[in-house]
Amino acid sequence: MAKRKTGLGKGLDAILPADLVDELEKNKSRRLENLPIQSIKSNPMQPREEFDPTSLNELAESIKAQGVLQPVLVTRDSEGVYILIAGERRWRASKIAGLDEIPAIIINRKLSQQELLFIALVENLQRENLDPIEEAEAYQSLSHRFELTQEEISERVGKSRSAVANTIRLLRLPKPIISMLKEKKITAGHARVLLEEKDESRQLRLAKLASDRGLSVERLGIIVLSKDKLKKRAKGFKDPDTEALEDEISMLLGTRVEIIRKKRGGKLVIEFLSDEELFDYVKKLTVK
């Protein structure tokens, strides 16, 4: 089904309930006003607790130069106080920029807490630079609170169903890895690779390795997937001590390692993707 085109701004018809969009389309010219910034309060159901100060300052500088290009949306509570529905970043940045007033579309209809939460969640997903865990938690909130399927969520936020599903999966990771992801020590790509590793202790070791040594997602994938692949290739039983040693050398070098034992001795196989990597591994193995 084709999306409706409105004059309310990019994506707003996807953020707001359909009947509310229709109401605004019919009356938007009458409802646009410049409101005192101090007369507006934040959305009490805003799920985001932190707003990146650097991003807000950059937006504030843009507002100083060009003004507020898109109005915020507000409604009135039972006491007549204006409550933000959408546009919290613009409102916060306008205060930083020193503006006294901000253009606003006023909705003369009381919204339920669920509607306020839903709008805030979808706006965050469409317009904010959420970290992967904040995004996953927002999808999960839409699913649990509003009983939306992943397909319905994907339609609301303009992303594929698989992208939504893969993002929600990140919440299965151990808390220390989730913290690393939020702190940008690893990327969502690294985190998705780590989900392929079922051993939690190895997950944590590999996450730390990726963070400490700046491993690419591709390289981390080689290490994570090596264990199962090597087990399938191995003839017979590989003892736990040998597997642990393979892991230890893999962690040291940051690549896939295989120990092949024979009746007498054996061989160590180290995978490399370029001569530069090979020389790097030689240096690590020859450090005195």
Give me the catalytic one of 23, 58, 61, 88. Answer: 88
Distance separating alpha carbons of residues 253 and 33, to the nearest angstrom: 62
| Token pair of 88 as six digits | 């919290």
- CB distance 90 to 14 below 8 Å: no
Please state the separation of Cα 144 from the chain's center in Å: 18
Active-site annotation holds for 152: no
DSSP letters along 194-253, please? Answer: HTT---HHHHHHHHHHHHHHT--HHHHHHHHHHHHHHHHHS-S---HHHHHHHHHHHHHH
Containing H/E element for 81?
A: none
Decide the pairing of beta strands 257-261 and 266-270. antiparallel
Question: In which residue are the tokens 């199962």 written?
Answer: 228
Q: How far apart are CA 130 and CA 26, in angstroms?
A: 33
The SS3 of residue 258 is: strand
Q: Is 155 helix (H, G, I), strand (E, B) or coil?
A: helix
β-strands 82-86, 72-76 pairing: antiparallel
In a 10 Å sphere around its CB, with 0-12 CB exposed, 13-18 middle and 19+ buried, how is residue 64 labelled? middle
Active site residues: 88
